[in-house]
Structure 1
Amino acid sequence: MSENYKPIGVFDSGYGGLTVLRSVIDELPQYDYLYLGDNARTPYGTRSFEVVYEYTLQAVEKLFEMGCHLVILACNTASAKALRSIQQRDLPNIDPTRRVLGVIRPSVERIPEVTRSGHVGVLGTTGTVKSESYPMEIRKISVGHPVRTYQEACPMWVPIVENNEIGTPGADYFVEKNVKQLLEKDAKIDTVILGCTHYPLLSETIRKFLPKHIQLLEQGPIVADRLADYLTRHPEIEQKCSTGGSRRFLTTESVENFETRAGMFFGESLQAEHIHL
């Protein structure tokens, strides 16, 4: 592997992070990207903080080993349960010049620009909702401008997407049910965050059951926009990201299984490599 190969690493427990990577590549196509999906151990959402932290750290260290100086945790569960510990506890010992970023903070930072009522809903996996990461991050940015946050766990949405049931009556049933339950918590909600990287594939269905005045925030475009801004503000990091325009895809599961499903999330077919963590 060339010493000049310093890709931006993108990690997810499975496939969902490919929706984020797609948006990032669309906005910043010049960089090299290295995607790692821990498909053999997915889902992370039902696992403890300790296990998610352990698995995520293993993936981050592997991406560092393969030349990445910047890694994005394109996974809400990993961002919720592992990011802070890795940033504060591990990076100073591994290499204080490297960076690990998540997807929750960029999504939350967009809220003040969008909400008028200050009442925000979050649709997420059970693990992300239980972590309380969104309400905690929203409280940090809403000093002086109080934002009320309401969450709804949607445990059936990821299986619907991964089993390619999008657009079926079953998908409609569960999406309508969860959207309705979220909106019943507060009639003033005017902004809804999709707190899982699988959910953009359900966005058309979600919009069917969401009143038109409610803004729907998808993480991919937001993360891409914030990453572009981050690299502009941190030239010392940007200079360590190689610009060969290449994309590599790694999975801890079988390559065949990964390639069969990954195209649905990435928007085009791709070739993957198997890796052990």
Structure 2
Amino acid sequence: MVATQPIGVFDSGYGGLTVLKSIVQQLSQYDYIYLGDNARTPYGTRSFETVYDYTLECVQHLFNKGCRLVILACNTASAKALRNIQQLDLPTLAPDRRVLGVIRPTTEVIGTYSKTGHIGILATRGTVTSESYVVEIEKFFPDLKVYQEACPMWVPLVENGEHNGPGADYFVQKHLDRLLQQSPEIDTLLLACTHYPLLLPKIRQFAPENLTILSQGDIVAKSLQDYLHRHPEIDAQCSKGRTLHFYTTDSAEEFEQKAGLFWGKPVRAERLTL
């Protein structure tokens, strides 16, 4: 009997489900495990050291469950932990495993969407402070002008189910206005937090009609498909049984109640004790 070697998808909470949803839509043949560190969310306000420690711990749990490839479907974890895990930990802890993030795939293509060369980034405070998008975009599109705005209330609005209500209007308009005031030439917005796609109707309501608004799910899914094509040795290690398992570090019942908002339908989850 061949052991299951699923693709692991990690997030600090629920938001990574929007990325996993896009991945499964494009690459449905694989087995997947999703792990949300709901007991310690949010990551966006925590230090680099804490995010790194938490992320590494969760990645190791996914390795223990057979994952050969793990996607950090969390912008904060990708910004604050991915590089150290790739460069310092994998060579000694798990040289045959791979960990990928969501920032690099996005920054590799974002410049192709803009005609003015002015990009706006909407993200958590942790992602903005890390400057990860600014640094990575510079590598691929050095002529792009990048403007950032931290939106600390957006994640709580989504997780409390207020993202479609009138209470969200003030905070969405406030941060959009702040970002667009930095440059009238911004023509492309990146939602650099996996919660933010649920606010897309509100964002479109207050954004100029000519603005291109990008969510990361489809971009990351296409990048993963390309990665597996370019690395057949990794693809061969990923089992293809079309299974999905959901884990949370907090209450499974609470996870199931809220996860459906991001996943689009009910899920069954198990609690993972760290």
**TM-score, normalised via structure 1 length:** 0.97
Cross-structure match for 2:228: 231
Q: Tell me the residue number matched to 2:209.
A: 212
**Matches of residues 91-130 of structure 1 in structure 2 within 5 Å?**
91-130=90-129
CA distance in 1, matches of 2:238, 2:207: 40
Q: Which residue of 2 aligns with 1:152?
A: 149
Q: Distance in 2 between matches of 1:119 and 1:60?
A: 35
Q: Which of 166, 169, 173 is equivalent to 2:166?
A: 169
Query: Matched residues in 2 for 1:178 and 1:139: separation?
Result: 24
Aligned residues between the structures: 274
Q: What letter matches 2:26 in structure 1?
A: E
| Deviation of the 1:45 alpha carbon | 0.8
Counterpart CA distance in 1 for 2:22 and 2:45 is 27
Task: Report the aligned-residue RMSD.
Answer: 0.9
Q: Are 2:42 and 1:33 equivalent residues in the alignment?
A: no
1:262 and 2:259 aligned? yes
How far does residue 3 in structure 1 lie from its aligned partner after superposition?
4.7
* Alignment counterpart, residue 272 of structure 1, candidates 262, 269, 274: 269
Q: In the TM superposition, what are the counterparts of 1:32-111 in structure 2 within 5 Å?
A: 32-111=31-110
Structure 1 residue 16: Cα displacement? 0.2
**How far apart, in 1, do the equivalents of 2:113 and 2:96 lie?**
34
**Partner Cα distance (1:148, 1:104) in 2:** 17
The answer to whether residue 155 in structure 2 is matched with residue 189 in structure 1 is no
Query: Residue 121 of structure 2: SS of its match in structure 1?
Result: strand
Q: Aligned partners of 1:213, 1:226: CA distance in 2, in Å?
A: 26
Distance 2:204 2:89 in 1: 40
Letter of the structure 2 residue corresponding to residue 198 of structure 1:
H
Question: Where does structure 1 differ by over 2 angstroms across 4 or more consecutive aligned residues?
Answer: none
Q: Tell me how far 1:208 sits from its aligned partner.
A: 1.1
Deviations 1:185-231 (A, max 9, x none): 00011111001000000011101111121111100111011111111
Q: For residues 127 and 220 of structure 2, what CA distance do their matches in structure 1 show?
A: 18
Separation in structure 2 between the aligned mates of residue 3 and residue 93 of structure 1, nearest angstrom: 26
- What is the TM-score with the length of structure 2 in the denominator? 0.98
Question: Which runs of 5 or more residues in structure 1 are unaligned?
Answer: none
- Rounded Cα–Cα distance in structure 2 between residues aligned with 1:63 and 1:53: 15
Which residue identity is paired with 2:221?
A
